[in-house]
Amino acid sequence: MKDKFDDVRQPLQDNRYFGALLLLPILIAFIVGGIWLKVVVVLMGLRALYEFYEVVKQKGLRPIQVAGYSFALIQFALFFFGRTELKVLSVIILFLTVAALIISVFRKDCNFMDAAVTVMGFIYTIAFFSLILLIYEMPGGRHYVFAIFTIAWVCDTAAYFTGRFFGKRKLIPEVSPKKTVEGALGGLAGGALGTMIYGWIVLLTGQPVMNPLHFLVMGFIGSFFSQIGDLIASSIKRDCGVKDYPKLIPGHGGILDRFDSVLLAAVSVFLYLTIIFGH
């Protein structure tokens, strides 16, 4: 007898497969790099900022969207014209902070908290996505950009299967009920080993990248941050009383649903390369 839920499950599965096909051009752009990488990062960053602002509105906050979007466009325009520098990003954040505070003083419908969430949303989405472009400009940057996805996706896959087969103790049930301590540990181990193997393969092709042991350490740190990124995105949704970010990709939710772990992995890779190698 046909399960009465089959008709419900099948469209959901089809949506996820269709959504995966839509994600493929994004992955290709990250592999190809160049102008295509910049275009994809810009679009993803702006969409992520929109999703963040829409979610925090459900909490009663009023982000100053005109300021957030305007400075995002200014920053990306500077990046497109060759000013892909951390200094540019830092200056833009300073200007946005001052502008948001000034607007909160003169607009009666805004207050300090609205200014704060405006800047926080910018940093969490635009700034974090921009780090991918900064990493790309580093020596061997193309390979380190792909390492970000290796960390995030291998960690996520390892955590899922480890948690499914061995998970017993809940990690932070009030934030993410399904995550377990065992799954988190499996994600750390899988992400670290997967990233080391990736670095070893890249090195064998003769590319000038760091030693695979550095990939191992970077993968371990990145896997930790990657899982924290997932928890942060879930915490924001729960605090604002919503289940998902505004949907964009069928079966996968919004950009922040799909790339929350990638954002924090990008932060960890950028910090590692900057602090350890001075890039």
pLDDT by residue, tens only, the chain of 279 residues: 445 444 444 444 445 555 556 677 877 887 788 899 999 999 999 999 999 999 999 999 999 999 999 999 999 999 988 889 999 999 999 999 999 999 999 998 899 999 999 999 999 999 999 999 999 999 999 999 999 999 999 999 999 999 999 988 999 888 888 899 999 999 999 999 999 999 999 999 888 889 999 999 999 999 999 999 999 999 999 999 888 898 876 655 789 988 999 999 999 999 999 999 987
CA distance 178 to 229: 15
Q: What is the pLDDT of residue 1?
A: 45
- The answer to whether 182 and 163 have CB atoms below 8 angstroms apart is yes
Q: What is the pLDDT of residue 251?
A: 57
Identity (one letter) of the amino acid at 91? V
Q: What is the pLDDT of residue 5?
A: 41
Q: What is the pLDDT of residue 4?
A: 46
Q: What is the pLDDT of residue 191?
A: 97
Our CA dihedral for 53, 57, 62, 64, rounded to 10 degrees, sits at 10
Return all residues near 198 (Cβ < 8 A) that are at least 6 apart.
146, 147, 150, 215
Structure tokens given for 103: 């607007």
Identity (one letter) of the amino acid at 190? G
b/e sequence 213-244, b meaning 16+ C-beta within 10 Å:
ebbbbbbbbbbbbbbbbbbbbbebbeebebee
CA distance 175 to 183: 15
CA distance 234 to 172: 11
Q: What is the pLDDT of residue 207?
A: 87
Torsion sign (Cα): 74, 85, 79, 195:
negative
Q: What is the pLDDT of residue 10?
A: 47
Distances (CA, A) of 261 to 61, 84, 91, 99, 235: 25, 23, 26, 30, 13
CA distance 126 to 42: 8
How far separated are the first and last CA of the chain, in Å rounded?
62
Torsion sign (Cα): 13, 14, 17, 22:
negative
CA distance 170 to 231: 13
1-32+141-279 fold: Tetracycline Repressor; domain 2 (1.10.357)
Q: Tokens 């969430």 correspond to what residue?
A: 117
